[in-house]
Amino acid sequence: MYRYDELDDTIVRERAAQFRGQVARRLSGELTEEEFKPLRLMNGLYLQLHAYMLRVAIPYGVLNAAQLRRLGHIARTYDKGYGHITTRQNIQFNWPALVDVPDILDQLAEVGMHAIQTSGNCIRNVTTDQYAGATPDEIEDPRIWCEIIRQWSTFHPEFSFLPRKFKIAVTASANDRAAVRVHDIGLRLHRAADGQVGFEVLVGGGLGRTPYIAQTVREFLPKEHLLSYLEAVLRVYNLEGRRDNKYKARIKILVNSEGIDEFRRLVEEEWTSGEGHAADLPREEVERIRRQFDPPAFDRTADDDLAFNEAVAANTSFARWTRTNLAPHKQRGYAIVNVSLKPPGAAPGDITADQLDVVAHLAERYSFNEARATHEQNICLPHVRTRHLLDVWRTLDTHGMATPNIGLASDIIACPGLDYCDLANARSIPIAQRIADAFSDQALAEDVGELKIKISGCINACGHHHVGHIGILGVDKKGEEFYQITLGGSASDDAALGEIIGRSLSSDEAVSAVQQMVHFYRSARQPGERFLDTYRRLGADRFKQLLYGKE
């Protein structure tokens, strides 16, 4: 992973010192809350229902053991013993005191971490495939480009006061695990017909009040021009994006009101206007960054392990976990281990200080000192030897992180909702727990197979409900919580927005509806079909009929 040099290190330390000064000016009253708010948001500090909430950046999801341990320390010392993994690969703490945040930032800076630009109308954390650098199905490691974008976008003087937040995601695989098509800018590394590797640049995707799938602004952009092209897109957005209405201020609104052809024309005109692509990095710097993502020292003689096969045969729980929670690794004899943060009864994506320490230990010992936060609110250990899987599983299992449910019905994405969030209309965690509970029978969950349920507590869609196979949106009807179901969404290459299938339901009705739909799916599916496939084949009307037929 990228190792901070003295320059990177100085930048985060100086930012922490700057924020210390800003906090002091707020506490003394020199800054009003109105003045302080954009400053604290640019440092990831929200004021939520119960307390401040600090969103710490995990750039493109990558963490090492020292960082994991520091996060655990912060959870214990300054918070209530836990953090929450977000849908943008960051981690949130729900209870820090403002007066402690400068110390927290100093301690994060010591391990090369920060909360820079995790909120505010600026360029946010760049996210990517949690399997980057380990998966066999990528063209090259997208994290190289994520790091390049991270540096370019950090304290960018021109783009720190955009009309609205700006989210960029990068994928390098035909299997998009980064949801690039629902980002403000999505970058898809691919090989052109002539063999050259470059980016397809997509713009104007996004969820929230007015969801859109991104459109292609450029089919092929040579890698070396990435930053200058991004500058062109951002400059057009900065100058032309709406600032009169917070709900119409994202780039997706601009792209759709101009039309993609006109938007492209504006970007290309800006890009070719003659400062010679000054933002583009020289090849030496790209190579310096690329080298930091060289593969770790894999044992290239490693092979499938007899002991592993025997353990699978002898231990049904372990066997199930290997079926559901592992992903293939490009190096023979290794596997990607998914660490489930969706055990029965817990809030999806929450992780305790003790669990952070356990993941640190496992990363250090078994995964070349690397772990990843995923946008599905789990963690993964990217490079684990097959022969260590049993030990890793046992440790995870002891600490409640081995629920065999990755990608299954109880692997639910849920925002914090009305239990925590100032913006929410309804709670999301309780309904997530009830649905997960309905699929706690592991054999049932495995039989149902891949089912991505995503729950948001309000229209801001932080739970990504628009792109759930089953999406659930909490709404407020006369002060009571109701839930709107959407079906058929997908965040992957087949990106699609879910369709609303009927009136909103009470919590009981919604949980029952999910069970009914899954039951129907199991009876109606054809071989090899996931829930999403059966839905697409049969169509929304069948499901509307199923749930609302008597109405």
Partner 1 sequence: MIHYEQNQFRLSERATSDATPLDVWRSSGAPLGAIVLVANTANNEDLALAASRASVIVLEFPTFVDGRAYSQARLLRQRYGFKGDLRASGNVLRDQALFMVRCGFSSLDVDGAAKDGYDRALSEFTFYYQSAADNAPPAWRLRADRARAA
Partner 2 sequence: MKAVTANRLTDGRVVFLAPDGLWAERLAHAAFFDDASAESVLAQARSRITEIASAYLIEVGEGGSAAGREALRETIRDTGPTVRSDLGKQAGNG
Binding residues for partner 1 (CB under 8 A): 5, 7-8, 10-11, 14-15, 17-18, 21-22, 31, 35, 38-39, 121, 151-152, 154-162, 227, 235, 238-239, 243, 273-275, 278-279, 281-282, 284-285, 288
Contact between 302 and partner 2 per CB under 8 A: no
- Rounded CA-CA distance 61/527 in Å is 35
DSSP states of 340-389 = ----TTSPTTEEEHHHHHHHHHHHHHHSTT-EEE-TTS-EEEEEEEGGGH
Q: Name the residue with tokens 């930012």.
A: 15
Interaction partner, residue 500 (partner 2, partner 1, none; CB < 5-8 Å by kind): none
Size of residue set near partner 2 by CB under 8 A = 32
Angle between the N-to-C axes of helices 306-314 and 389-398, in degrees from 0 to 180, rounded to the nearest 10 = 40
Per-position b or e across 160-189, b if 16+ CB within 10 A of its CB: bebbbbbbbbbbbbeebbbbbbbbbbbbbb
Q: Of 194 and 275, which CB lies nearer to partner 1 in the complex structure?
A: 275
x-marked contacts with partner 2 along 324-353 as a string, rule CB under 8 A: -----------------------x------
Q: Of 184 and 350, which CB lies nearer to partner 1 in the complex structure?
A: 184
Stretch that binds partner 2, among 176-184, 197-205, 256-264, 478-486 (CB under 8 A): 478-486
Q: Name the minimum Å distance from CB 448 to partner 2.
A: 25
Q: Name the minimum Å distance from CB 433 to partner 2.
A: 7
Q: Name the minimum Å distance from CB 82 to partner 2.
A: 9
Q: Of 50 and 246, which CB lies nearer to partner 1 in the complex structure?
A: 246
- Residue of 494, 276, 272 whose CA lies nearest to 264: 272
HEC letters along 523-534:
HHCCCCCCHHHH
Q: Name the minimum Å distance from CB 280 to partner 1.
A: 10
Half-sphere exposure of 275 (CA within 13 A, CB side): 12
- Rounded CA-CA distance 123/150 in Å is 9
Contact between 55 and partner 2 per CB under 8 A: no
Q: Of 193 and 278, which CB lies nearer to partner 1 in the complex structure?
A: 278
- Rounded CA-CA distance 366/374 in Å is 19
Interaction partner, residue 278 (partner 2, partner 1, none; CB < 5-8 Å by kind): partner 1
Contact (Cβ atoms closer than 8 angstroms) between residue 382 and residue 367: yes
Q: Name the minimum Å distance from CB 418 to partner 2.
A: 6
Interaction partner, residue 39 (partner 1, partner 2, none; CB < 5-8 Å by kind): partner 1
Contact between 99 and partner 2 per CB under 8 A: yes
Report the DSSP pairing between strands 453-456 and 480-487: unpaired
Q: Name the minimum Å distance from CB 7 to partner 1.
A: 5
- Residue of 134, 508, 45, 77 whose CA lies nearest to 330: 134
- Rounded CA-CA distance 37/138 in Å is 40
Contact between 33 and partner 2 per CB under 8 A: yes
Q: Name the minimum Å distance from CB 347 to partner 2.
A: 6
Interaction partner, residue 38 (partner 1, partner 2, none; CB < 5-8 Å by kind): partner 1
Q: Of 342 and 427, which CB lies nearer to partner 2 in the complex structure?
A: 427
Interaction partner, residue 533 (partner 1, partner 2, none; CB < 5-8 Å by kind): none
- Residue of 261, 382, 255 whose CA lies nearest to 331: 382
Work out the end-to-end distance of the chain between its first and last CA atoms, rounded to an integer number of angstroms: 56
Contact (Cβ atoms closer than 8 angstroms) between residue 468 and residue 486: yes
The residues that touch partner 2, with contacts defined as CB under 8 A, are: 26-29, 32-33, 47-52, 80, 95-99, 347, 418-420, 424, 427, 429-430, 433, 476, 478-481
